[in-house]
Amino acid sequence: MLYSKPMAQFSFDIVSEYDKAEMNNVFDQAQREIASRYDFKNTPGALEWLDNDKTGYKVTGSSDWQVDSILDIVRKKLAARDQARKY
C-alpha cells in the first residue's frame, strides 16, 4: 500500500530594511575620506551608487588593495553609525 501525504507549501520573503538617510550619510563620509586620502589621488578608486534608486554601492579600484581599502572605509563608517553590514 502506498500512502501519499501532500507536502505543505511554504513561502517566505527576506527583506533587508535599512535607513536610507544613514546610508546616504555613510556614502558622503566615505566619499570625503576617499577624496582626501593621498593613496587615492590620481587613481580610479571610487565609490558610487549602484543605480538611481540608491540600492547599493559600486566600488571601483585599480587593484585589490584599493578595493579592499574602500570597503574597509565603508565598513568603518557603517559601524560608527550603528548600521548592520549587509553586502
Domain-located, residue 85: no
pLDDT at 19: 78
pLDDT, tens digit (0-9, with 9 covering 90-100), for 29-69: 999 999 999 989 999 999 999 888 888 889 999 889 999 99
Domain-located, residue 42: yes
Residue carrying C-alpha cell 520573503: 13
What range does the domain containing 56 cover?
A: 20-80
Total domains present in the chain: 1
Higher pLDDT, 2 or 32: 32
Domain-located, residue 45: yes
**Secondary structure element (H or E) that encloses residue 48, with its range:** strand 46-49
Strands 57-60, 46-49: parallel, antiparallel or unpaired by DSSP? antiparallel
Domain-located, residue 58: yes
In CATH, what number is assigned to the domain containing residue 62?
A: 3.30.70.990
Q: Is the overall model pTM greater than 0.75, yes or no? A: no
Domain-located, residue 7: no
